[in-house]
Amino acid sequence: MAVEDACGIARGTFSDPSEIARTATEVRSMRQRTYSTVCDIQRSLGNALERLVLACGSLAELYGLADGGVTADISFGDGVLTDSVTDRENEREDVKAGIISPEVFRERWYGESRKDDRDEKRIS
């Protein structure tokens, strides 16, 4: 048994991949194993980070440093299939074409809420 099998990742990640003869089906299966393992790790890490943020928020509220309402929005994306730079450029093009509003773009990419946008327009 290779170390990769014990870790749930594709053979050849740590060992020499040329030592193992593989079919296309085996390669696809091994890549799927790595993808599944990474997704499981990200899900567990995301849950832990959310709980950490909520605990910090509770402490901040307890000591009067914040008024509560702390939330966490954690997204790892795919990293292989998802390219945030390309996604952002595509959405910029959608704004230029009038497909989405600038407010929606700012909400997605800068974390602004529509309420923030209304307040900004009122101040201007």
* Residue pLDDT, tens place only, 94-123: 999 999 999 999 988 888 877 655 555 554
> Which phi and psi (to 5°) does residue 81 adopt?
-85, -20
- Owner of token pair 């990419």: 109
The rounded distance, in Å, linking the Cα atoms of 94 and 102 is 9
The rounded distance, in Å, linking the Cα atoms of 54 and 37 is 26
* 100 and 91 Cβ atoms separated by less than 8 Å: yes
pLDDT bracket for residue 25 (50, 70, 90): confident
Q: Is the pTM of this model over 0.85?
A: no
The rounded distance, in Å, linking the Cα atoms of 59 and 96 is 44
